[in-house]
Amino acid sequence: MSASILVVEDEPAIQELISYNLELAGHQVRRADSAEGAMAMVRAALPDMVVLDWMLPGMSGIDFVRWLRADRRTQAVPLIMLTARAEEQDKLSGLESGADDYLTKPFSPRELVARVKAVLRRRAPQATDDAIEVAGLLLDPASHRVLGNGTPITLGPTEFRMLHFLMTHAERVHTRAQLLDQVWGDHVFVEERTVDVHIRRLRKALQHTGHDHLIKTVRSAGYRFSENA
Ligand code: CA
């Protein structure tokens, strides 16, 4: 499993401990030591998950969660909050404000890695290694293979990530901007028409086994992965 995880923690030793263990678990970690710094990083590239300390200098962790949840682009980013206080009220406010899970310091790195995995599986299946199959099309992130009715399909890295995202978020329309965020992790420096180029390549690769029809164009909206017409 390899997810891009933004760690927001102002205490250097804890930031290091968290980052080290998440990297050891195969994740790509970016770090911020304030909510303001984290906002700039999220604006530049959407992470698969945020691990956020509650007590930060300047803007608080909880205000950062509210900011994240208020914007359509960032509202679905999975988030785990960390706190030094075990009070029940803190836990409730954290979950109410939009955290997906909650850990009280001190916690074991193993516990954190397990929670990260559980939240990703629930909230961001495209960031996990679970194989997925739809209508005879099988995508296995662990072996980086795609099979159409048992026949290997060769995809470029971008097409592979795009198909993975579409298959794990089927039956929903995704705009080009959303696909840029989710597949490229960056919506600033890539033009939206780039999405169309890669969709075309993906469909072409899927044509050989007749799976190209699974990717629907939704006029003036974007793309949808669907078994239905
Ligand atoms: Ca802190």
Give the distance (Å) from ligand 1 centre to CA of residue 185: 27
Domain count, the chain: 2
Band the pLDDT of 188: cuts 50, 70, 90.
Answer: low
Q: What is the pLDDT of residues 45-89, one digit of tens each?
A: 999 999 999 889 999 998 999 999 999 889 999 999 998 766 667
Same domain, 51 and 93: yes
Q: Could you say which of 74, 100, 127 is where a domain stops?
A: 127
Domain that holds residue 193: 132-225
Give the distance (Å) from ligand 1 centre to CA of residue 37: 14
Q: Could you say which of 94, 127, 160 is where a domain stops?
A: 127
What amino acid occupies position 148?
Answer: G
**What is the C-alpha to C-alpha distance for residues 200 and 179, in angstroms, rounded to an integer?**
14
Q: Could you say which of 72, 105, 127 is where a domain stops?
A: 127
Give the distance (Å) from ligand 1 centre to CA of residue 12: 9
Same domain, 142 and 221: yes
Give the distance (Å) from ligand 1 centre to CA of residue 112: 16
Give the distance (Å) from ligand 1 centre to CA of residue 181: 29
Give the distance (Å) from ligand 1 centre to CA of residue 68: 19
Backbone angles phi, psi at 98, to 5 degrees: 125, 10
Q: What is the pLDDT of residues 199-216, one digit of tens each?
A: 999 999 999 999 999 999
Same domain, 118 and 165: no
